[in-house]
Chain A
Amino acid sequence: MSTGSISIGERIISRTESVWSHLRFLAEDRLACAGLITLGVFVFLGVTGPTIAPYHPIEDYVRTTQGDIVRLAPPSTDTPLGTTEYGKDVLSQFLAGAQPTLIVGLLGGVGTGALGFLVGLVSGYFGGWVDELLMRLTDLTFSLPFMPMALLLLTFITPNVWLITAIIVSFLWKMPARVVRSEVLSTRERTFVKSARASGASHLRTMFLHIAPNVLPIGFLYTAYGVAWAIAAQASLAFLGFGDPTTTSWGRMLRMVFESGTIRIAWWWVLPPAIGIAAVTTSVFFIGRAYEEMINPEIQNQ
């Protein structure tokens, strides 16, 4: 892909072209295409959801004309997705709940991808004791079970969106780190890297200008997976009752319906958040699969 002889400008142009060809490829894969559309809808909901919600998801009650609170009403024209046991509007909660899901997903995914990419790059490039130290650190995060540790930490400090994101990143970066490292190990031995070093390029320059671009696709892929993992982790924590208590999220909605004991009847309260989470995480993986097919030469050259 990149060699030492072409200029930065040419490199940017070829990068842009390859991004377009990637998108075209994804559009041709039907599953990935459906995934892209679903993600688009999700991002739209995450950005506009709270403002288009007809009620406040937590403070407002749905009331009859007589002023009585409407509990557990099935979907109707007034409340298209019905109401909860506590008399809240499910549609509003669903719309507003997309936002924390999106924030934690995006930040958690990007954080996971970026941190993992950096660790993998440095570890693979330098090798030796740096590699040893960083890889033992990934072993440590592997050996600390994520769910129990996250639960412990979240009883210790009141959960909020940022804290949950930080916990997710600090446990999930190991995945991209290992994969990126093994890619770097093979890239490092290629001629253009050696010639760059021989012609006097610094470590930093070699790492970021010569090796990083070749490892970037796998970094992107794991960033995308990171988004799905972060959404799943956040929803799981919220479902167990360790989510941010001040906001509505899809995981928290599921906890409420489960705790209230009405999960058996109130399907209109269960299905929107459940389908929402399932659709988003699956979409990311469909896109990831198609992308993986494209960048994995061993699968590709058949």
Chain B
Amino acid sequence: MSDFRRFLAKRLAVSALLTLISVTIIFFVLRLLPGSPFETLITTGNLSPEQAEEVFALYGLDKPLWQQYLVYLKNLLTFQFGYSILQSRPVWAILGPKLANTLVLLVPALVTTAIVSTAVGMYAGWNRGSTAETASIAVTTFLRSTPVFITAIFFLIAFSYTLGMVPAFGMRRVTATPNGLLDTYLSIDFLHHYLLPFTVTVLYYSGDFLLLARNGVVEKKGSEFLKLHRAKGLTENEQLVRAGRNSLLPVVTYFALRLGMIFQGLILLEVVFGWDGIGRALVLAIEQQDYPLVQAAVFIMALAVIIMNLLADVLCAYLDPTVNANGGAV
């Protein structure tokens, strides 16, 4: 086996183990939670003890803990998330569309910010010490250090409440009843609601990409290969392109990491903008103690992080020959 293959096998095994540990922690934390969604039903007399037992059996809550755990593992492996306690619908039927809503907002935003702010960052790094550099760093430092819900509130106040340019809440007009995918995501109404959350997401993530790209270019600026290029008579812009290309690796791996974290990172954004995504669904499910829903949402978020971490590590080891495959990648 080559070094890279061994690294890959090890990394896959570690990821599988991490997934197991994560889902185990989620299971036990949820089971330790006091109270249950049925309690109110029972205490108010809406459910008789016999009916309660039936319901418990239906959700498998009458079995010993270890049996529940095994069933839970088996179900997760087959993506069977069970039924929502409060909505009596399969969890996946509830979460699926919400997951789509989250992805529709976040993936384009992340791709946009990765491309635009990496380019700006490279330009800033190349013109080190210029006003443009200082200004871009000041602005993006503000955007990335301020919690996203606060930036969102500032934007709401400015563009929605004061200027009245965009709606403040939701994904579409309350009266809208979209039919099918095209109608759901490709309408002026949707775009109108989309603009503000999209902009805030792009701005929130811009700082990290900008600084990574800027630092990369600054580090490359004095290096030998650029001196050679300069001696060959390449123009400033051509040199910048080469310096930039050589500092893309951290940006690429960072993009993978960010993609894994987007679900959880923007729970707050979804709450502020009333975006009907998986993050907002999780907060509501926790408040209503709808365990199967919580379980599935947290599992999806954890799985995204684990897969993307794996991808980032592998990309890093694959693309950068100087990285030690035995774990030198930071």
Contact = CB atoms under 8 A, between A and B. Distances in A.
A74 to B, nearest CB: 15
Interface stretch (B97-105, B115-123, B213-221): B213-221
A299 B223 CA distance: 11
A270 B157 contact: yes
A156 B267 contact: no
A298 interface: yes
A79 to B, nearest CB: 20
B329 to A, nearest CB: 9
Contacts of B128: 302
Given A240-B268, A298-B219, A144 B153 contact: no
B25 A144 contact: yes
Interface stretch (B87-95, B180-188, B189-197, B297-305): B297-305
Contact of B146 (A282, A286, A298): A282
Given A143-B22, A152-B294, A285 B145 contact: yes
A282 B145 contact: yes
Contact of B141 (A156, A232, A289): A289
A147 B279 CA distance: 10
A148 B298 contact: yes
A277 interface: yes
B141 A285 contact: yes
Interface string B5-29: 0000000001000110110011001
A147 to B, nearest CB: 5
A278 B134 CA distance: 19
B47 to A, nearest CB: 23
A143 B286 contact: no
A26 to B, nearest CB: 15
Contacts of A155: 33, 286, 289
A160 interface: no
Given A277-B147, A278-B146, A143 B29 contact: no
A152 B305 contact: no
Interface string A174-209: 000011011001000000000000000000000000
A114 to B, nearest CB: 20
Contacts of A301: 222
B145 A228 contact: yes
A146 B150 contact: no
Given A285-B141, A285-B145, A145 B330 contact: no
Given A239-B268, A282-B146, A285-B145, A144 B330 contact: no
Interface string A109-149: 00000000000000000000001100110011011111111
Interface in B134-150: 134, 137-138, 141-142, 144-147, 149-150
A299 B219 contact: yes
Given A140-B18, A148-B267, 19 more contacts: A31-B134, A136-B14, A143-B306, A145-B298, A145-B302, A147-B265, A148-B298, A148-B302, A151-B282, A156-B32, A156-B34, A240-B267, A241-B287, A254-B150, A263-B153, A278-B154, A296-B215, A301-B222, A302-B218
25 contacts: A143-B306, A143-B309, A145-B298, A145-B305, A146-B264, A148-B264, A155-B33, A155-B289, A156-B32, A156-B33, A156-B34, A181-B330, A235-B147, A239-B268, A240-B283, A254-B150, A263-B153, A263-B157, A270-B157, A274-B150, A278-B146, A281-B147, A284-B145, A296-B215, A302-B218
